[in-house]
Amino acid sequence: MSSRTFNVLFLCTGNSARSIMAESILRLQGMGRFEVYSAGSRPAGEVHPYAIELLQRNHYPVENLRSKSWNEFAAADAPRMDFVLTVCDNAKAEACPVWPGQPISSHWGIPDPVTVQGDEASQSKAFADAFLVLNRRISLFNNLSFDKLSGLSLNTELNRIGQA
């Protein structure tokens, strides 16, 4: 297994739930293999309380999680990304910044739990469903043999994971 640390950026529109949960999940599961970031095209300005509560309940780190713009990661002095993964359909359709270093990109669309209307149980279930899908996909991603796959093969695997 490669001893290299990979930079991963999860993107969505608001950066308040899905991309935030993905950041936390990979940070823990990756056990130092990854520097993990998240951002949004139109950040909400705060992390959704259900996302924080769900992460805490499942013993995932919540320190330093914040809603932020993807512009932070398109700047010249930003960390160079190896992977950029969109987790919502809105971000997939938007014109993304040009990421320095031409990272491998893939779309892992997940319904936005923030938009779910209804009682607290319905909203909590939407967050839990998004968390479970992210957890599964990130587990698959984390188990890839990065040192044995070429860029094209990695992209194919990331796209396959996005369909899981």
What was the pLDDT predicted at 3?
72
**Position 62 in a domain:** yes
**Position 132 in a domain:** yes
CATH for 20: 3.40.50.2300
Number of domains in the chain: 1
- What is the full per-residue pLDDT of the chain (164 aa) written as tens digits? 457 899 999 999 999 999 999 999 999 999 989 999 999 999 999 999 999 999 999 999 999 999 999 999 988 889 999 999 999 866 556 667 777 778 999 999 999 999 999 999 999 999 999 999 999 999 999 999 888 887 788 889 999 999 88
Domain of residue 94, residue span: 6-163
| Residue 86, SS3 per DSSP | strand
| Residue 12, SS3 per DSSP | strand
Distance from C-alpha of 48 to C-alpha of 75, rounded to nearest angstrom: 26
Q: Active-site positions?
A: 12, 88, 96
**Position 122 in a domain:** yes
**Position 80 in a domain:** yes
**Position 1 in a domain:** no
**Position 86 in a domain:** yes
**Position 98 in a domain:** yes
What are the residues whose beta carbons fall under 8 Å from the beta carbon of 65, sequence distance 6 or more? 20, 23, 24, 38, 47, 52, 55
**Which residue, 6, 21, 8, is CA-closest to 110?**
21
Distance from C-alpha of 162 to C-alpha of 164, rounded to nearest angstrom: 6
Backbone angles phi, psi at 59, to 5 degrees: 65, 40
Q: What global pTM score does this model have?
A: 0.92
**Position 54 in a domain:** yes
